[in-house]
């Protein structure tokens, strides 16, 4: 088995509220890349919370139809290289259904340009005029009334692009949070929307893949109603994206690039 890896990390953050700003030290969940090998050959890559390595390996192998029973796995070896985990599943026998090509990931565990390099692909980073915090709060209040599918079903996520005043320009809903961002980016592309003219607001957790997709589209400020992970914070810091989580009830917490908000009046 591999060594113990911390599942929580303390990080400096800035609470921005209508009453003012205050520095915080927040605990965030650690998210790390994991490459899963089967008998030494890469099978898939994913991002996960460290720990319970054998449980994950057995469950992923079963869900991916590599094995039907626990006794079909001989052992699980875990090692750490460059901040990522390598999980090697050694099988006693190989099922016929497992002879297909390796999978890039299991459903829900996709890794776009997330834990890798610059998603801008060499494009210069444009200057961004700082955004007023009030715009985020206005968008937060406007999101639910704009979520017609959610109001009818309670079963969908939303991704929105708002202008600099906080008025929604596009709101896209879907049962899959990744799909909402794809739909939002598509709407922006089709309309020729300049991402400098506003910011994105997510009804879900600010997952790494979602922020990566928005960053690739040129969005510089991403607000979300729920928490980030360590990988999202690191990515946003590296890519120059302001990350505002827990954006609700007249407040939000900034985990990366607070200079992209106009806090002069706070």
The pLDDT tens digits of the residues spanning 216-264 come to 999 999 999 999 999 999 999 999 999 999 999 999 999 999 999 999 8
- pLDDT given for residue 101 in this prediction: 47
The ranges of the chain annotated as CATH 3.40.140.10 are 20-25+118-260
- Architecture field, domain 32-99: Roll (3.10)
The one catalytic residue in 109, 113, 149, 187 is 109
| In the predicted structure, residue 98 carries a pLDDT above the cut 80 | no
CB hemisphere CA count around 265 (13 angstroms): 9
- Distance, CA of 152 to CA of 145 (rounded, Å): 11
Please state which CATH class domain 20-25+118-260 belongs to: alpha beta
| Per-residue pLDDT at 41 exceeds 90 | yes
- Number of H-type helices and E-type strands within the chain: 6, 12
Residue 30 burial (CB count, 10 A): 16
Active-site residue, 21 included? no
> How far apart (Å, rounded) are the C-alpha atoms in residues 22 and 253?
9
Buried b (16+ CB within 10 A) or exposed e, 145-168: eebebbeeeeebbbbbbbeeebeb
In the structure, what pLDDT confidence band is assigned to residue 5 with cuts at 50, 70 and 90?
A: confident
Predicted confidence (pLDDT) at residue 71 exceeds the cutoff of 70? yes
Whether the pLDDT of residue 89 is over 70: the answer is yes
Binding-site residue set: 246-251
What mean pLDDT is predicted for residues 48-64?
Answer: 90
Question: Residue 27: is its pLDDT beyond 70?
Answer: yes
pLDDT in tens, 74-84: 999 999 988 89
pLDDT band at 173 (very low <50, low <70, confident <90, very high): very high
Residues of the chain with CATH 3.10.20.10: 32-99
């Amino acid at each position: 088995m591999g060594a113990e890896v911390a599942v929580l990390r303390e990080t400096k953050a800035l609470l921005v509220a209508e009453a003012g700003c205050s520095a915080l030290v927040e605990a965030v969940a650690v998210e790390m890349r994991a490459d899963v090998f089967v008998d030494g050959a890469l099978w898939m890559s994913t991002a996960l919370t460290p720990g319970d390595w054998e449980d994950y390996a057995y469950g992923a192998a079963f869900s991916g139809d590599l094995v039907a029973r626990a006794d079909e796995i001989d052992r699980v070896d875990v090692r750490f290289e460059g901040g990522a985990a390598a999980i090697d599943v050694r099988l006693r026998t190989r099922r016929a259904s497992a002879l297909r090509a390796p999978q890039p990931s299991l459903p829900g565990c996709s890794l776009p340009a997330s834990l890798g390099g610059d998603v801008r692909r060499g494009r210069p980073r444009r200057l961004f005029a700082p955004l007023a915090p009030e715009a985020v709060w206005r968008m937060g209040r406007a999101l639910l009334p704009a979520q017609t599918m959610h109001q009818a079903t309670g079963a969908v996520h939303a991704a929105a692009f708002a202008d600099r005043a906080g008025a929604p320009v596009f709101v896209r809903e879907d049962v899959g949070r990744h799909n909402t961002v794809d739909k939002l980016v598509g709407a922006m592309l089709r309309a020729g929307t300049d991402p400098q003219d506003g910011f994105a607001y997510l009804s879900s957790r600010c997952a790494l893949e979602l922020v990566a997709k928005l960053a690739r589209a040129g969005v510089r400020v991403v607000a979300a109603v729920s928490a980030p992970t360590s990988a999202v914070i690191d990515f946003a810091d590296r890519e120059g994206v302001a990350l505002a989580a827990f954006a609700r009830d007249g407040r939000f917490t900034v985990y990366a690039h607070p200079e992209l908000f106009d806090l002069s009046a706070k």
